[in-house]
Structure 1
Amino acid sequence: MTNERAIIAIPMGDPAGIGPEITAKSLVNEDIYNMCKPVVIGDAKVFAKAIEIVEASLKINVIEKPEEGKYEFGTVDIIDLKNIDMDQLQYGEVQAQCGKAAFEYIKTSVDLAKEGTVKALATTPINKESLKAAKVPYIGHTEMLEDLADTKDPLTMFQVNGMRIFFLTRHLSLKAAIAQMTKERVRDYLNRCDKALQRLGVENRKFAVAGLNPHSGEGGLFGMEEVDEIGPGIEAAVQDGIDAVGPVPADSVFFQALNGKYDAVLSLYHDQGHIAAKMTDFHRTISITNGLPFLRTSVDHGTAFDIAGKNIASSVSMEECIKLAAEYAPKFTRDTLG
């Protein structure tokens, strides 16, 4: 990493959830300030309350632009959108004002990233029901970012303890996901994953593709998907110049990647990769959205309304989220994937 600390935007998340608390707790960690320049995008009154809740020794410095920040440990620079009525705020409840505010924090962060005044986004949790109550036409971060950044079908990558996992399919039934496991899709995704790691500055890019069936189908004995589609897709990607192997049985490929045999694994469906990552370390599993014109990392948990405002939520995931953004930001290239 270069000596120049990158400016990382942290949209505060749903004000009724744990986002403000875990952000405040994270910014008590001096390592964060040694690695980057964090700027919170949110509501200063909400954040001041979060500081009080978590009993943090932090001061707030309200700024209008990222370049005005002090970026000194003990002081939190915040762009104050002043969009929450504190008299109406109820922790742990779905509220339209919170859904609207959470969207505005993200939009402002994206605008700053697109103009290049922040190097990356490290996002906190938002709530689908609150977005719906506010008539915000998105169900989550990925859909927002696709639209706001004019990007189609961004790649999701998990990173935990050095292991990277991409996903061939995401929110589909297992039956529908299997129908998507075509030669063409496997080939396309391996090429896109390789470009995504290039943009993150990763020099060694050896991929393993996880198998679908037990023992990767055992040559057709337990299913023909590996023989007919997955294997040929890998071979086609290799012909394109991608360093890829597989399909490797799913009961061993993630362990092997965790121990350095592979630089990334292409998981075939949602739970296959999610279980592997979260069983490795639930709190330190961080999501990176690749394919955007800027870097975005995210915690992989929700707003936790049941414990919001109680100083119970762990900030480990948020701290890792910011640190990972800081790690990749100096190496990240802003060109599109095409």
Structure 2
Amino acid sequence: MSDIIGITMGDPVGVGPEIIIRTLADMSDTDRARTRIYGNLATLEAAKAAIGKDVDLDGMVENIDFPGAPLPWGVLSPVAGDAAFRFIEKAVRDAEAGKIGCVVTAPINKEALNAAGHHYDGHTGMLTALTGSKTAFMLLASEKLKVIHVSTHVSLQDAIRRCTPERVFATICAGNEHLKRLGIENPRIAVAGINPHCGEQGLFGTDDDINIRPAVAKAQETGINVQGPISADTVYYRAYSGAFDLVIAQYHDQGHIPIKLVAFDTAVNVSVGLPIDRTSVDHGTAFDIAGKGIANHENMLSAIAYARKLATMGKNA
């Protein structure tokens, strides 16, 4: 497996290009030699000018042209949405071919992506389709709290419908395998309930008893060290305090809110269950500050560090 990581530029009118340039400026020569950028050279040069960093990009960029490059910063555009898709598509194909060991994605804009005719709910759905996978899971990783989601970019009503025993069980298994790959021999996993107090014996709903408890029991039967459902109003505090290595969140906000509270600038978004590895920043395109040279690249540094770890470990058999 290659130890080269491939960074996709994200939406070319967002903050992706400038956080990439800042990150490259902070890299050692050795790490730059193990990095490839999937983006647009003219846009990256514009980002260099915007932040006042003179980074040598010679030989590092898989240049993908698009009309009007560089486009005006912060202006939503279907052209930019299409370019963001093509950066990712090329990186995925190179990852599948073993040319890079992990894909690191800068932020995309879902509105621009869909306006360009690429109808995905975000990176995870796009990567699932591009790799021909049946499903994938979003894991958010920080130093003291890790969360993997049963569902992500769907309405709350749809999230409740997707909380099936089969999906919860699959999420537990995916999270367990990922943590074991990271070197945790017997991951301690907690499954968050979906209703207040896990339904309080049916007073506040039966979803936890019907859909979550059977999945936890099945996972325990396979030898996974998992508990739940545990009331979501306490489980994250317990995990953050060291009682669990991973929390299974039932829907997007249930997992994202605690992570963004404790690790807003450093949490890494990881796609689990794909045939390729992918990490990402856990923030958006920030059109309002794009091109102003003030975007913080700390999250990108964290995503790259996680990617390098995965690239050196290889995929599970």
Please give the TM-score of this superposition, normalised by the length of structure 1.
0.86
Q: What residue number does 1:187 align with?
A: 169
Matched, 1:274 2:245: no
Unaligned runs of 5+ in 1: 63-76
Matched, 1:82 2:53: no
Give CA deviations for 1:260-295 in whole Å, capped at 9, x if unaligned: 221111011211111111111212121101111111
Q: What residue number does 1:12 align with?
A: 9
Q: Give me the whole-angstrom Cα distance separating, in 1, the residues matched to 2:205 and 2:29.
A: 48
Q: What residue number does 1:287 align with?
A: 269
Q: What residue number does 1:39 align with?
A: 36
- For residues 164 and 332 of structure 1, do their structure 2 counterparts lie closer, same or farther at Cα, with a shift above 3 Å needed? farther
- 1:14–1:126 CA contact under 8 A, matched in 2: yes
Q: Give me the whole-angstrom Cα distance separating, in 1, the residues matched to 2:223 and 2:105.
A: 34
Match of residue 287, structure 2, among 305, 308, 314: 305
Q: Give me the whole-angstrom Cα distance separating, in 2, the residues matched to 1:225 and 1:102.
A: 39
What is the one-letter code of the residue matched to 2:63? D
| 1:66-145 correspondence runs (5 A) | 77-86=60-69, 89-145=71-127
- For residues 32 and 128 of structure 1, do their structure 2 counterparts lie closer, same or farther at Cα, with a shift above 3 Å needed? farther
Match of residue 241, structure 1, among 195, 214, 223: 223
Q: Give me the whole-angstrom Cα distance separating, in 2, the residues matched to 1:162 and 1:84.
A: 44
Q: What residue number does 1:155 align with?
A: 137
Q: Give me the whole-angstrom Cα distance separating, in 2, the residues matched to 1:282 and 1:125.
A: 15
Give CA deviations for 1:68-111 in whole Å, capped at 9, x if unaligned: xxxxxxxxx2222233533x621111223322221121111111
Matched, 1:256 2:277: no
Give CA deviations for 1:246-273 in whole Å, capped at 9, x if unaligned: 1222122112222322111101121111
- 1:41–1:109 CA contact under 8 A, matched in 2: yes
Alignment RMSD, CA only?
2.4
Q: Give me the whole-angstrom Cα distance separating, in 2, the residues matched to 1:199 and 1:84.
A: 42
- For residues 226 and 209 of structure 1, do their structure 2 counterparts lie closer, same or farther at Cα, with a shift above 3 Å needed? same
Q: Note the C-alpha offset of 1:322.
A: 1.0
Q: Give me the whole-angstrom Cα distance separating, in 1, the residues matched to 2:115 and 2:166.
A: 40
Q: Note the C-alpha offset of 1:180.
A: 3.0
Aligned residues between the structures: 317
What is the one-letter code of the residue matched to 1:85? G
Q: What residue number does 1:69 align with?
A: none
Q: Give me the whole-angstrom Cα distance separating, in 2, the residues matched to 1:98 and 1:146.
A: 21
Q: Give me the whole-angstrom Cα distance separating, in 2, the residues matched to 1:56 and 1:47.
A: 11
What is the one-letter code of the residue matched to 1:81? I
Q: Give me the whole-angstrom Cα distance separating, in 1, the residues matched to 2:152 and 2:56.
A: 41
Q: Relative to structure 2, which stretch is displaced further, 198-207 or 8-17?
A: 198-207
Unaligned runs of 5+ in 2: none
| 1:202-221 correspondence runs (5 A) | 202-221=184-203
Q: Give me the whole-angstrom Cα distance separating, in 1, the residues matched to 2:289 and 2:281.
A: 17
Q: Secondary structure at the residue paired with 2:147?
A: strand
- 2:174–2:272 CA contact under 8 A, matched in 1: no
Runs of 4+ in structure 1 off by over 6 angstroms are: none
Q: Give me the whole-angstrom Cα distance separating, in 2, the residues matched to 1:136 and 1:228.
A: 36
Q: Give me the whole-angstrom Cα distance separating, in 1, the residues matched to 2:49 and 2:169.
A: 51
Q: Relative to structure 2, which stretch is displaced further, 321-330 or 182-191?
A: 182-191
Q: Give me the whole-angstrom Cα distance separating, in 1, the residues matched to 2:200 and 2:184.
A: 33
- 2:2–2:100 CA contact under 8 A, matched in 1: no
- For residues 180 and 142 of structure 1, do their structure 2 counterparts lie closer, same or farther at Cα, with a shift above 3 Å needed? closer
Give CA deviations for 1:180-234 in whole Å, capped at 9, x if unaligned: 3333332232223323334455433121101223333344444433333322321
Q: Give me the whole-angstrom Cα distance separating, in 2, the residues matched to 1:329 and 1:307.
A: 32
Please give the TM-score of this superposition, normalised by the length of structure 2.
0.91
What is the one-letter code of the residue matched to 2:213? G
Q: Give me the whole-angstrom Cα distance separating, in 1, the residues matched to 2:67 and 2:127.
A: 23
What is the one-letter code of the residue matched to 2:147? I
Q: Note the C-alpha offset of 1:316.
A: 1.3
Q: What residue number does 2:150 align with?
A: 168
